Structure 1
Amino acid sequence: MGRQYPVVLIIDDSPAFRDFAKYSIRTDIKFVNIFQASDAIEGLKLYKKYKPDVVLLDWKMPGIDGMTTLKAITNDDPDIKVIMTTAYDDDQNLLNDFMKGGAFSFVPKPMNRINLLKVVADALRERKNANFYGYLRNIARS
């Protein structure tokens, strides 16, 4: 049915956030592969190479922003679980924009470890269920 362990991709220009997220996920969610990118270009390359199950994606980054990156990823894989993050929460329509763009969830920064782990675990669970039902549909068609 695919690879052995789920893949999480963290795309964020903050090394401190990438380290925090990687450490939190690796410590509490066992058996997961984690890759990191410091900008959207590197992130999209890693996305194409590893086809992650979940992406943690910063909204405000130098160069290509998070919304453009979100659309590129969800156009390629509408079922992927992208969790948007940002420290900029002054726009009331931000959450709506993320959801319209195909995001699974939004977690504002700074975030605590428990909130991060809950949303990542939920995203991994939903992705696993979607993959399993897709697998069953393929069996039923053959």
Structure 2
Amino acid sequence: MSIKVLVVDDSGFFRRRVTDIINADGRMEVVGVASNGMEAIEMNDSLKPDVITMDYEMPVMDGITAVRNIMQRRPVPVLMFSSLTFEGARVTLDALDAGALDFLPKNFDQIAKDAIQIKRALTDKIAAVAKVQNKTVTRTVSKPVVKGQLKNTELVVIGTSTGGPAALQTLFKKIPGSFKTPIVIVQHMPGSFTKAFAERLNTLSPLVVKEAVDGDRIEAGHVYVAPGGMQLMVDKRGGGVIHIRESDERVNYRPSVDIAFASAAKHYGARALGIVLTGMGADGREGARLLKETGATVWAQDEDSCVIFGMPFAVIKEGLSDEVLSLNDIGPRLVEEVN
């Protein structure tokens, strides 16, 4: 059964382009197009799509207002299109707060270099968010953890992708200002988004949250967000420092959870804690393997609280997670076990 998609954008050219890409994929079909948020709300009720692609800036009603109304009337996975600007990042984060599940840059040339990658980026995102409504929850039993074994943790590294911005905001609301262990966040985002996201997280958390820059000292009570489009590595020498490097084109994710985890395994070993949250794909699995080889601890978010159970499942399936936790439990456990 194909995935039914509603395309919402005030640009006729963009609606046609997106429609052609979706209809060329055998997994899905466009069942309707709308030119503003009000039409989107009405067509969501009448056509009952499985996924909506949504623009932000439209006449009559903007995308964020439309998302809020859709989530109240008939919730459905929404994939936002966003401009690759700082203001576009802030708008997209507002849309995610309103209930949208994920986003793609509206300028396709910024996310791919050829038509095949362009089509795959869009259709794979649609297929992934479509599963959210129909996912089957598999209960996973975590391994018993000895209380107090994480008291010597010197660094926490969190990796996430789809659903991560909302998950991280939920998590950090539960971490008090007294939490001193430094935290590094690797969230799959474009380079223009991570600064805005770090600023937003900083307003919600009593900790100091910033976008990491090369040479940052790793300090107590600080949270470092890996910059989009680059790779973040940690180095314990000299009291702890962050290195930001250009990414090899062969690496799929920029920033990559695997690379950040690998550096933590090398320099912090058993004194590192890796946490894998909601996200598509398997980024973090190989890094978690390296962490485990050094005696470090790895936690994974459970399926029930994930938007997309891809990244945590990849870690759990390989037996690399010491605990599988609900999102609401991760913050309190950090305070109890690490702080």
TM-score normalised per structure 1: 0.78
**Which residue is equivalent to 2:16?**
19
Preserved CA contact (<8 Å) 2:45 2:74? no
**Which residue is equivalent to 1:96?**
93
**Which residue is equivalent to 2:121?**
115
- The alpha-carbon deviation at position 56 of structure 1 amounts to 0.4
**Which residue is equivalent to 1:139?**
none
**Which residue is equivalent to 2:80?**
84
- The alpha-carbon deviation at position 66 of structure 1 amounts to 0.5
- 3-state SS, counterpart of residue 7 of structure 1: strand
- The alpha-carbon deviation at position 31 of structure 1 amounts to 5.2
Distance 1:30 1:118, change over 3 A: closer
- 3-state SS, counterpart of residue 135 of structure 2: helix
**Which residue is equivalent to 1:54?**
51
CA separation in 2, counterparts of 1:106 and 1:18? 16
CA separation in 1, counterparts of 2:28 and 2:83? 29
1:34 matched to 2:40? The reply is no
CA separation in 2, counterparts of 1:117 and 1:123? 10
CA separation in 1, counterparts of 2:33 and 2:127? 18
- The alpha-carbon deviation at position 123 of structure 1 amounts to 1.4
CA separation in 2, counterparts of 1:128 and 1:28? 20
Gapped regions of structure 1 (runs ≥ 5):
131-142
* Greater Cα shift, 26-35 or 14-23: 26-35
CA separation in 2, counterparts of 1:31 and 1:85? 18
CA separation in 1, counterparts of 2:33 and 2:98? 22
Aligned residues: 126
- The alpha-carbon deviation at position 73 of structure 1 amounts to 0.4
Distance 1:62 1:30, change over 3 A: same
Preserved CA contact (<8 Å) 1:85 1:109? yes
- 3-state SS, counterpart of residue 49 of structure 2: coil
TM-score normalised per structure 2: 0.35
Preserved CA contact (<8 Å) 2:78 2:100? yes
Distance 1:23 1:128, change over 3 A: farther
**Which residue is equivalent to 1:137?**
none
Q: Partner letter of residue 17 of structure 1?
A: F
Report percent identity of matched pairs: 27
Per chain length, whose mean CA-contact separation is higher, i.e. which structure has more relative contact order (CA < 8 Å, sep 6+)? 1
Q: Partner letter of residue 102 of structure 1?
A: G
* Greater Cα shift, 29-38 or 68-77: 29-38
1:8 matched to 2:14? The reply is no
Preserved CA contact (<8 Å) 1:84 1:105? yes
- The alpha-carbon deviation at position 40 of structure 1 amounts to 1.8
Preserved CA contact (<8 Å) 1:84 1:106? yes
Distance 1:48 1:71, change over 3 A: same
- The alpha-carbon deviation at position 121 of structure 1 amounts to 1.3
CA RMSD between the two structures: 2.0
CA separation in 1, counterparts of 2:28 and 2:52? 16
